[in-house]
Amino acid sequence: MDKMDIVVRKATLKDVEQIRLLTRDSFMMYAENAGITALVAPLSESYEEVEKEVRTKEVLVALFNEKIIGSLRIEIKADNTAYLSRVGVSELYQNNDVGRILMNAVDELMEMMGIDCLYIHTASKVFSLVKFYYKKGFYIESTTKDRGYIRALLCKEYKVAKVANLL
């Protein structure tokens, strides 16, 4: 697979079922890797719930040969921050830069929208995910056990990067 063949675009309503299935499969692996025994919300997400997200959030999809192989959702907040969720890449395409390409598209979108900080929760036990987000400029702001396992709240600051680039 050539990285140049991966296209990232905003999701449409036609993508809802593919996004739902991809997210479910990705979060089954996530729960297994994190040792989570409780039900993780994306595993029971309905078509209607995903459809609502596509209508109300910034939902991006990564395509290879016109097939959705990755997706994520971004909720833009009133305080000039955003929350990233439901990041998933098809198991068949992991470790092929799909996540990096998606996150580069997120960075472009956040900078274009003037977002100051982007947040995401991830299982702190899944070192590969924490490492991935660190490489993309995130840091751990806090942790919580609100879902029955340790989740790290990661933050990426865009405003700081803008100021640093000006100096």
Residue appearing with tokens 């040792």: 35
Sign of CA dihedral 143, 146, 77, 55: positive
Measured between alpha carbons, how far is 83 from 65 in angstroms, rounded to an integer? 29
Measured between alpha carbons, how far is 126 from 119 in angstroms, rounded to an integer? 17
- How do residues 96-129 score in pLDDT, each as one tens digit? 999 999 999 999 999 999 999 999 999 999 999 9
- How do residues 120-165 score in pLDDT, each as one tens digit? 999 999 999 999 999 999 999 999 999 888 999 999 999 755 544 5
How much is the pTM?
Answer: 0.90
Question: Under DSSP, is residue 118 helix (H, G, I), strand (E, B) or coil?
Answer: strand
State the pairing for strand pair 81-89/117-123: parallel
CB 98 within 8 A of CB 69: yes
Q: Cα angle at 4 between 165 and 135, to 5 degrees?
A: 40
